Structure 1
Amino acid sequence: MNHFEIDRDLKELTKHRTVDLPLACYETTINQNIHGHIPLHWHEEIQFVRMIKGEAVFKINGASISIREGDGLFINSGCLHSAEDFYPSNGTYICLNVSPHFVLNPELYTTYVDPYLRATNLPFLHLEAKEPWAKNILEAILQIKQFIQQQSPFFEIETTVQLTLIWQNLMVNGFHLEYDPLKVQKDQRMKQMLNWIHQHYTEKVLLEDIAKAGQLSRSECCRYFKRILKTTPLNYVTNYRIRRSSVLLKQTDASVTEVSYQVGFNSTSYFIDQFKKVMGRTPLDYKKSN
């Protein structure tokens, strides 16, 4: 998988399912993505990752974690996350995305699944193969991938057995779950501000407008971006414009000047300068190479 669509509030639009099951399992080589990395996004599905080559840095709800070959990661439902290759490792991973309602049967969902999805102290878990419970999860990911590929008789049942094993190993690790309504509100405000930027990035964007979208003061807005995305609001706008321009340069015949204005820059020279800082080459070189 080397490209996926996200909507204006960063929700991934990919339908994560096979023909019969509400889950998807696929391999991703990070630097082969259309952006050269996995851009910031979220989805309702829970996600399990197993690195099968190289190393990658994942960012989840403002935290950064490096995942080495053989280890993995659990990313909870609704969490903002992105991934970059730990250059030059050609990081490749198996990604298992599962609808939370498919993890256990409905009678057990309320007791054994929902509390983990709502826990504000569980945005992700590092799955280190040296830990027996994590190793069980990592091996089950491979099993599910094989079941889906081979589609042998009763593979659907075998898949659900492995999912139950995965969830049981996650629960018996003994996590103390917490729920903080204030943190939920903060995460929602961050998504509201990002949504506003993605709707208005082609226009003149002011810090006041971004802050207003999240019902925050300008200083508090800056703190949100610094804490979660490790950048300023206006730097995020510039980087998002560059990301959108890279797609247009690949997919259209528009000139560099036309693209620069389409994504909100009012100066072609400034666009070229910023593009080179982010992408490491000029827009024209990037367009020609693709």
Structure 2
Amino acid sequence: MQIKNFMIDHSLKELTAHRTVVLPFACYETTINQNINGYIPLHWHEEFQFVMVIKGEAIFQINEEVVTVQKGEGLFINAGCLHMAKDKNDSGCVYLCLNVLPSFVLSQELYSTFVYPYIQATNIPYIILSANEQWASTILDSMMKISQLIKEKPSYYEIDISVHLTYIWKNLIMNGVSLEVEQSEIVKSQRMKQMLHWIHQHYAEKILLEDIARAGQLSRSECCRYFKRMLKNTPLNYVTDYRIQKSLILLQQSDSNVTDVAYQVGFNSTSYFIDKFRNAIGMTPLAYKKYKRNGTNTLEQ
């Protein structure tokens, strides 16, 4: 299953229910450029995420760090971490994604000792899974086996999946990563999510830098430093980018027009909206609307 339009709440928490009918986890293939935005937008969720690139290569941002993952490599993304993904060099990147609720990884009796400390650790927002490392290669192999089990659904496949998940987790924590918890990192993450939450509630209104900073209980300068460090962007440029993201959905409605959409997402000038949209998407809003309506691969500029 390909999720082409991430549903997130105002805090960027993904609302997709990551589960099969029985198990609290999900496994699916994602083609990055098929997402409505052309990339996987910034979001977070309560599940652990294991990624394996099976075609091309991708650039992942996890919190404030950026890593490139090539075909055959993988990535563990810790629960609660902000992350996004882009295709690198138009490679047609496809990755296998396994999202699993932490409480399902091990039994309740083992959870507090072998799982919960890793959720709390602030020094492991992600771990690279290299096929050259035996422990990581084992994880990648188990991910492929889980994917195959879901496709074939043999008898008792749910139990086999549970066994593989346990094996994946055991190999992950056996690689020797020490756990650290820094209260300042926890506070930083909370403040960042508070500011994003405020933007996503008020993006259709007039937004000032002071408003965003106040939501994070920061000064304007410190607010700018947070965004630059964690999102590689300025606060107000992020607002513009988010407004463009929201406009993509509205423009696909048959009765929408460019001017109305511009004002609905918070722009106070149609010409400014068109200019920013063209810079971000590579075509005008009207061309995008026609492109989506006609389902053509020819992009009118």
Unaligned ranges ≥5, structure 1? none
1:107 is aligned to: 109
Q: CA deviation at 1:87?
A: 2.4
Q: Between the two proteins, what is the percent identity of the paired residues? A: 62
Following TM superposition, by how much is the alpha carbon of 1:150 offset from its aligned partner in structure 2, in angstroms? 1.4
- Residues 187-238 of structure 1: CA deviation (Å, up to 9, x unaligned): 0000000000000011110000000000000000000000000010000001
Shift, 1:156, TM fit: 1.3
| 1:232 alignment partner in structure 2 | 234
Output the amino acid matched with 1:150: E
Moved over 4 A (4+): none
CA–CA distance in 1 between the matches of 2:136 and 2:167?
11
Residue 66 of structure 1 and its aligned partner are, at CA, apart by 0.6
Match of 1:189 among 188, 191, 197: 191
Instruction: Check if 1:67 corresponds to 2:49.
Output: no
Whether 2:287 is the aligned partner of 1:285: answer yes
**Aligned partner (choices 81, 99, 104) of residue 83 of structure 2:** 81
* 1:130-149 correspondence to structure 2 within 5 Å: 130-149=132-151
Q: Does 1:155 align with 2:125?
A: no
Cα distance per residue 1:130-186 (max 9 Å; x no partner): 111110000000111111221111111111111111111111100110001111011
Tell me the distance in 1 between the aligned counterparts of 2:110 and 2:211: 44
Q: In structure 1, what residue type is equivalent to 2:5?
A: H
CA RMSD of aligned residues (A): 0.8
1:218 to 220, 229, 235: 220
User: What does residue 242 of structure 1 align with?
Assistant: 244
Instruction: Identify the match of residue 25 of structure 1 among 27, 38, 48.
Output: 27
Q: Secondary structure at the match of 2:242?
A: helix
The number of residue pairs the alignment matches comes to: 290
Aligned to 2:166: 164
> 1:118 matched to which residue of 2?
120
Question: Please, which runs of 5 or more residues in structure 2 have no aligned partner?
Answer: 293-301
Residue identity matched to 2:49: Q
Counterpart check, 1:206 vs 2:208: yes
- Structure 2 CA distance for aligned equivalents of residues 52 and 145 of structure 1: 12
Pick from 10, 14, 20 the counterpart of residue 8 of structure 1.
Answer: 10
Which residue number in structure 1 is paired with residue 50 of structure 2? 48
Q: TM-score, normalised by structure 1?
A: 0.99
* TM-score, normalised relative to structure 2: 0.95
Counterpart for residue 261 of structure 2: 259
